[in-house]
Homo-oligomer: A and B are copies of this chain.
């Protein structure tokens, strides 16, 4: 698996699973009906933020993507954030973990002192466990912060780690 800079040329490969994941409304606090173009602008971030794709080195297939960005401004600008999407067709082979590790390294190399995820859906246990394995802890939970289409209201975690 190779992780490289995402470009607008990658968007047609990202869009199908981005759209599936966003429209399902189970794991992101995004509008559920973002268009092809709006999603692209939403996900592909300009410098100094970054977006990457994880690709299969043999086939070039896009397996997943991550965006990484400053979380706060001003005197909290030392805190980064990141988001990840993995094509469900390519789950279970460590793509999410590789992307998450990449973003932690990016944040550290960029001089950030910490990372904070603002909205981790509590019922997304796979993500919560992955982040915990990477050193993040839940520092707070917005009670009933997310209206899950299947589970109803669930908590919305704020997760954090120092770098």
Contacts and interface: CB of A to CB of B under 8 A. Distances in A.
A59 to B, nearest CB: 32
Contacts of A31: 73-74
B158 A76 contact: no
B139 A143 contact: yes
Interface string A69-110: 000111111110000000000000000000000000000000
Given A118-B118, A158-B158, A29 B74 contact: yes
Contact of A143 (B75, B142, B156, B160): B160
Interface residues of A, number: 35
Each complex incorporates copies of this chain amounting to 2
A30 B74 contact: yes
Interface in A127-163: 139-149, 156, 158, 160, 162
A119 interface: yes
A28 interface: yes
A22 to B, nearest CB: 8
A119 B72 contact: yes
Contacts of A145: 72, 76, 79, 114, 116
Given A140-B158, A143-B160, A143-B162, 5 more contacts: A30-B73, A31-B73, A72-B156, A76-B119, A114-B144
Interface of A: 22, 25, 28-32, 72-79, 113-114, 116, 118-119, 139-149, 156, 158, 160, 162
